[in-house]
Structure 1
Amino acid sequence: MKERGDHMVEQINVLVVDDSAFMRKVISDMLNKDPYIHVVGTARNGKEALTKRVSLAPDVITLDVEMPVMDGISTLEQLMKQDPIPVVMISSLTKEGALQTLLAMELGAVDFVAKTSGAISLDLHVIEKEIVQKVKLASQANLINNTSKRHIQQMPSYRPFVTKHSTSSSNKRIIAIGTSTGGPKALKEVLTNLPKEIDAPIVIVQHMPSGFTQSLAQRLDTLSHIDVKEAAGGDILRNGTAYIAPGGSHMEIMKTGQAYSIHLNKGDMRRGHRPSVDVLFESLAKFPDLQKIAVIMTGMGSDGKAGLEKLKENGLCFSIAESVRTSVVYGMPKAAIEAQLVDEISDLDKISDHIMRHLNQFK
């Protein structure tokens, strides 16, 4: 136990898994610098990691994606099958590395950190703060509901939804989703359960670095009935298509004639994020005649709350937040709910149904 102010804080025990002795030492040294983290051991491959997980009982594992004997994905599958534990993947920035990392997110990894320059990163210190922060966050992550398929009773609406504006069929509709930590798996659950003929476009901000959002879009496109793509500047929004903001760029919606289009920019970060959910939501708030369903799912912090406030002030917007029971990290949904900006709280596996129900009510 460590003392932090007036509180006693449990020390986070970490197992570092990487086939490179150099990387094991660098990552261990970074983590051990923090007074609330203690590296209890290291492993050279997945097979050794599974054994040491039992003997050392870590709270969090950092897991390299590419390793001999047993790679990171196979190791993660075994970890989640035996007894789920928070895992932060350490990935390369290659296209193959990105695809493997996204698969790891689907399998239950809490988050990932991208190596800055290949398998052996000599400048890993650049992302030292990110590694420490994500290990700390992972130690608090909710894994139970992400590994269980048991039925969860539906939560009631947070407050009654009141239609303030015309809902004639001539008005256009849009679905806007914001998410962060735990988001790739949550997006898979929602997007794969939307019908191909959905009568609205979907715009998405997922906090993720450049180089990974394209792989995320491609992965979700292969799994979904709808089309999914990484957004490009000038894209005209089309029904039945989901547009994911590219890592490193804010995404805003603009009007081009009678259509709506995507505008990307490299403006300042908002609350440490680019892309930002607030930026997306605030751009949509400029169009009061556009009927909106805004969804905030798992993620750390409060991104989306300020934008949702703007949406609620300007036109028809029905808002949904993911429940505490299924959120990997409850920060973003909690911030919106506590601000009384949410019309309905939903477990993850029901969000797509609620989107469709309220979309149909708009007609």
Structure 2
Amino acid sequence: MNPIRVIVIDDSAFMRKVISDLLTSDPRIEVIATARNGQDGLEKIKQLNPDVVTLDIHMPVMDGITALKELMQSHPTPVVMLSSATEDASFKTIQAISSGAVDFIAKPSGAISIDIATMKQEIIDKVVTASQVSLPLQQKEIVKQPSTLVKQTNPAVKHKQTIVAIGTSTGGPRALEHIIQRLPKNLAASVLVVQHMPAGFTKSLAQRLNQKAALLVKEAEDGELLENGVIYIAPGGFHMKVKQVGTSLFIDLTTEAALRGHRPSVDMLFTSLAQVKEVNKIAVVLTGMGNDGANGIKELKKMDQHTYVIAESEETAIVYGMPKAAVRTNYVNKQAPLGEMSNLITNLV
């Protein structure tokens, strides 16, 4: 098997060296070049045609966002962004993911992270995953093909209240943007979203989605009452659950231990929703690595067989891990491409 050929672009010589050393410690990866800014990086990418690029956001001459946009136009390549968790950087990171980057790594301590080595496995995993993504991502969501029915049940609206719960990971911000900006303003449901992301980035995600959507999109707050027509994004670093008091439903944010490496966890949201009575439930699993959400789907269906489960189809999923794990439970009612998702959700509600 050929090694994954990587170019590391960062304005700090220290960071270039550390990231290169971390990546090359894995026998699957070869760092073929480094670059000190976006312009230098673009030239090397054109010459060397790497499999994956790691790209810092803040750089002189040409920053990471500008370089990413040019790269996606001229030479689409899987990109993993490196970002500090400042408000400005986190907003730019979400912008980068929406502009075609596969994923990002939050540097643990600002622009020059002396403790970046603590993230060795995360950096390696994200580069390996990025190498398996087919580009250009822009074309993936245009695919229109018939959606696959796995197991059809009649999703008759039985109750007054409806909750749509969405879980996603790698590639999620772009998928969410595609769906959320096409949902109608008068949607008669609350929408709860778990996107795997560290603290500090989910707020920027909510702000960006809110700019694009007819509905209100916000980062969820502990104890708030669920309302129709509002999309609640689980804050990074917290599990988001639904708590029922009488007929009212509230958000319950907890700092319980990460579940199989995730906090927020899709399984945690789905499992809490399984306990809620007299509510119509729609569970959606979008693009992402791993199998988060699969156990929660089993709980939802065990407690209420009328729960309607949708998984993104392989044709449009940037990473088909989470939807595939959902389908393997045999509880998915429908597999649908991204282009059909918002209509499907709207019709079910």
Find the partner of 1:24 among 4, 11, 16. 16
Q: Pairwise mapping of residues 1-363 of structure 1 onto structure 2 (< 5 A)?
A: 9-147=1-139, 150-163=142-155, 167-168=157-158, 170-315=159-304, 316-359=306-349
Contact 1:287/1:314 (<8 A) preserved: no
- Give the stretch that moved more between structures: 44-53 or 146-155: 146-155
Q: Deviation digits for residues 258-308 of structure 1, max 9, x if unmatched?
A: 210000111111111011000000001012421111100000000000001
Contact 1:210/1:247 (<8 A) preserved: yes
Corresponding letter in the other structure for 1:285: A
Gaps of 5+ in 2: none
Cross-structure match for 1:4: none
Aligned residues: 348
**Higher relative contact order by CA 8 Å / sep ≥ 6: 1 or 2?**
2
Q: Deviation digits for residues 150-197 of structure 1, max 9, x if unmatched?
A: 45222232222245xx734x5311100000000011110111110111
Give SS of 2:43's match. helix
Corresponding letter in the other structure for 1:277: V
Give distance in 2, aligned partners of 1:193 and 1:174. Answer: 17
Give distance in 1, aligned partners of 2:157 and 2:163. Answer: 13
Q: How big is the shift at 1:55?
A: 1.3
Q: How big is the shift at 1:148?
A: 5.2
RMSD: 1.3
Give SS of 2:148's match. coil
Q: Deviation digits for residues 3-42 of structure 1, max 9, x if unmatched?
A: xxxxxx3310100000111111111011111111000000
Give distance in 2, aligned partners of 1:158 and 1:36. Answer: 36
Give distance in 2, aligned partners of 1:246 and 1:143. Answer: 29
Contact 1:108/1:147 (<8 A) preserved: no
Alpha carbons of 1:48 and 1:125: their partners in 2 closer, same or farther (altered >3 Å)? same
Q: How big is the shift at 1:123?
A: 0.9
Give SS of 2:54's match. strand
Give distance in 1, aligned partners of 2:74 and 2:337. Answer: 25
Runs of 4+ with deviation above 4 angstroms: 148-151
Q: How big is the shift at 1:129?
A: 1.2
Gaps of 5+ in 1: 1-8
Q: How big is the shift at 1:118?
A: 1.1
Identity of aligned residues (%): 48
Give distance in 2, aligned partners of 1:307 and 1:204. Answer: 14
Q: How big is the shift at 1:207?
A: 0.2
